A and B are shown apart, each in its own frame.
Chain A
Amino acid sequence: MLKRLGCIFLFICMILSMAACGAESGKQTGNQAVQSSGQNAGEKEKKTQEPVRIVFWDMAWGPADTYPKVVESVAKKFEEGNPNVKVEVQQIAWDNNYQVFLTAISSGTAPDVATVSSALPIQFNSMGALTPLDSILEEWKKEGKYADTEQADYDTFTFDGKVMALPWQLDPRALFYRKDVFEKAGITKLPEDWDGFLEALRKIKKNTDVIPFVSSGADSFSHHVFYHFQIINNTGMVTKDLKADMAGKKNIEVLTLFNTMVKEGLVPEGMVGYKLADAQKLFYSGKVAVFLDAPRLQMLQYPEIANNTAVLPVFKAPEGIKASPGWTNPILVFKQSKNAEMAKQFTKYYCDNVLPVLTKSGLCAFPVKKSFLSDPYFKSNWLLKGISEEVLPYTLPGFYPARAYYPAYGQINGENYAGIALQNVLTAGGKADCEAIAKKINQDVENALKSSK
């Protein structure tokens, strides 16, 4: 009986798999179809015959139930204005996304347009995979829209004098604090520099039983924690002219700051093992006074958190600057695109009409175009209002003081050197030799810079 059942099962499966190979092999990706048709016919001829297909790979920036619809609606509107064009939006999952793009590029199946995480354009550019978008800037200049975006945001993706990607949204990092805990701890004035910040944390430690400060220490978010305090102290992994700067005095000060926090128990002992999700869990369960994260709409959904939390105004280090990291995320056109002109038009259209994606999709991100910021949405609750007013005026990119992403950034960021610097301090139990750590990481940064040449 068992034997017979097994046979039947195997047989069914075989039929199924045969059918699979037969039925599906005819289908091809939109991509490949675009390519082959591009090879066959001249561009102009084709425009009159069949619709131009633009494949748009969009990272899954927002929640699956609300975000893709809004992006698609923007694409639909573009199609309405350009009846000969068909935009195919594909959401790309974050896990593994770098390999997905790499394989696509190296095998000639890259999409026409894509939004990617901000560190990737420099990598793609080194591979020679991107199309310059300067012509879009020219058009914006003519239309008077150029100055709507900060020059620094264009610079971010300007490589060898050419703009290779355009910023479409700003993803800031911020410190959030619990007003009720601050009150309970007897903190009457919000910190204005990082000594004041330390003082506040000390009071919380002394007067309450909540954890003074927490964020990620284990996953790649940990470098955001380190970058945050680097920028406050007016320094970064490299200098303005791209020399390794981790061993510099200001970086040692940042390490010392964290060492002090560890020594005085202002961060939990386990922080080095926390991924961002663990830190979030601590914060949302009300066990934390100050928390570093990106602004997230979910903060508004927890009554206890939403009613008692505020954005901590940007403060500076004694010799630092009033600044806070914000990442501009890019949209770009691949060189492989057979319809580069149309792809550029779509890119421009997307940047110009992205507002609903920022306000209606459940994504919590901010516009790079200043005019968008006047949309009442960005003042509609404490979180958005706090970020727009207290943080956005001071944002600097995470690779500051460099002006643009640089080739070694991929390695420095990907291998999480800043996070490892932080981890070195967090695991030392308050006895960290900050200079030695700084030197060690500096060596890694130097090697990265050297090998990227």
Chain B
Amino acid sequence: MADKGEHGVNSKKLENPTLGYILILPAVLIVLVIRLYPMLYGFYMSLTDYSLVRPDKVEFVGLKNFIDLITTDEKFYSIIVFSLVYTVCVVGLSYIIGMIMALLLNRDIKCRGFFRTLALIPWAIPPVVGATNFLWILNDEFGIVNIVLKSMGLIKNSIGFFSDMSVVRLTVIIYGAWKSFPFMMIVLLSGLQSIPTEIYDSAKIDGSGPVRSFIHMTLPFLKQVTFISITLMLIWTFNGFEDIYLLTEGGPVNRTMVLPIYTYYTAFYRGNMGYAASIAVLMSIILLAVSILNKKATD
């Protein structure tokens, strides 16, 4: 039973694909009409010196943007490293929190629906409001977190969640995980729900403990769901502009600068769309590589 995922793979061999084409047609139409052209246009832009300032004089420059980016852009490397660290940490952390919440809320308890809803609310509130309240509760002078920690005697001086250069990266990671765990939770929860209860019953008869049965029964079952949710979360986090921008705008002193913000600055404040597009293409390539790695890892 545990190799359910394999079943799916084996069963993918239906001879007549016509029905398949028909089923997939609406999706193809919508996605390709709306999104393919803009994306191809983005790729094209990366090979030009397209500038917002002179949109009428666009020249094809080949790989110049990419070469500049890799050879001369000093900021690029430090930003890329933090972007990757940020992404991996946020995805990992949100997966762990999401898994814990999913396991807890998968149990047969009262008011389950109510609790599940509460756990999803961080996702539901408008990002501006969420970020501002996050800033307020973590403020060093009046934030409730510092006040509570101080009154409990755990710390002496306030923690500068947004001002201490060694803490601020951790803060944005925690914020990112806080924003993303509801997604992980809901996906894992639905994955957990598709596991037939019999396998746990048989595990109980075998006498294996909860940890063992989690590792040997639950996790393999969630393989598919895990792969997809982690891939999607990687993409969103790596491309996510809003979360960090609303908290720190990439500061202090570019300490929390990530590629999407850098792309945004390049595209709009410098008006250099071509260069920005080449960053975006490079980001897509990195993401593709990470996704393939992730695929290998889950297999």
Q: Are A and B in contact, CB atoms below 8 Å, in the complex?
A: yes
Interface residues of A (CB under 8 A from B): 95, 98-99, 102, 106, 123, 126-128, 211, 217-220, 268-275, 277-278, 281-282, 285, 287, 407, 410-411, 413-416, 419-420, 423-424, 426-427, 448, 451-452
* B131 to A, closest residue via Cβ: A275
The answer for the CA separation of A95 and B251 in the assembled complex, in Å, is 19
Contact, CB under 8 Å: A123 / B271: yes
Instruction: Give the top 10 A-B pairs by smallest Cβ distance, nearest first.
Output: A273-B162, A414-B269, A270-B140, A273-B163, A423-B252, A126-B53, A270-B163, A272-B163, A272-B252, A423-B253
Distance, CA A68 to CA B168, complexed state (A): 39
Chain A positions within 8 Å of B161 at CB level = 273
Contact A270 B162, beta carbon cutoff 8 Å: yes
Is there an interface contact between A123 and B249, defined as CB atoms closer than 8 Å? no
- Interface 0/1 of B151-185, CB less than 8 Å to A: 00000001011110100100000000000000000
> Does residue B284 face the partner (Cβ distance < 8 Å to A)?
no
A362 to B168, CA, bound (A): 37
Cα A285 to Cα B53 with chains together (Å): 45
Given contacts A98-B268, A127-B53, A410-B270, 16 further A-B contacts (CB under 8 A): A95-B128, A102-B52, A127-B55, A269-B160, A272-B252, A274-B139, A275-B132, A275-B135, A277-B132, A410-B271, A416-B251, A419-B251, A423-B253, A427-B165, A427-B253, A448-B270
Spell out B's residues near A (CB within 8 Å). 52-56, 128, 132, 135-136, 139-142, 158, 160-163, 165, 168, 248-249, 251-254, 265, 268-272
Closest chain B CB from A364 CB (angstroms): 22
Per the bound structure, the CA–CA distance linking A277 and B135 in Å amounts to 10
Pair B272/A426 contact, Cβ less than 8 Å: no
Q: In the bound complex, do residue B270 and residue A218 qualify as a contact, i.e. CB atoms below 8 Å apart? A: no
Q: Are B268 and A218 in contact (CB under 8 A)?
A: no
Complex alpha-carbon distance, A287 and B53, angstroms? 45
Q: A102-B52, A415-B269 are in contact. Are A219 and B140 (CB under 8 A)?
A: no
Residues from chain B with Cβ under 8 Å of A123 in the complex:
52-53, 271
Tell me whether chain A's interface is mostly helix, strand or loop, or mixed: helix
Complex-state Cα separation, A448 to B142, whole angstroms: 38
Q: Are A426 and B163 in contact (CB under 8 A)?
A: yes
Count A/B pairs, Cβ under 8 Å. Answer: 108
Output the residue of B158, B268, B272 with the most chain A CB within 10 A: B268
Q: How far is the CA of A220 from the CA of B132 in the complex (A)?
A: 15
- Which of chain A's residues has its CB closest to B158's CB? A270
Q: Are A414 and B265 in contact (CB under 8 A)?
A: yes
Known: A270-B160, A271-B163. A281 touches B136 (CB 8 A): yes
Residue of B nearest to A425 (CB): B253
A282 adjacent to B141 (CB under 8 Å): yes
CB pair A270–B132 under 8 Å, yes or no, is: no
Is there contact, CB below 8 Å, between B163 and A411?
no
- Chain B contacts for A273, CB-based, 8 A: 135, 139-140, 160-163, 168, 248, 252
Chain A proximity of B280: nearest CB distance (Å): 15
Residues of the B chain whose Cβ atoms lie less than 8 Å from the Cβ of A411? 265, 269-270
Q: Which residue of A lies closest to B254 (CB)?
A: A420
With the chains together, A194 CA to B8 CA distance in Å?
74
Closest to A268 in B: B141
CB contacts (< 8 Å) of B253 on chain A: these are: 420, 423-424, 427
Which chain B residues lie closer than 8 Å to A217 at the CB level?
163, 252
Q: Are A278 and B139 in contact (CB under 8 A)?
A: yes
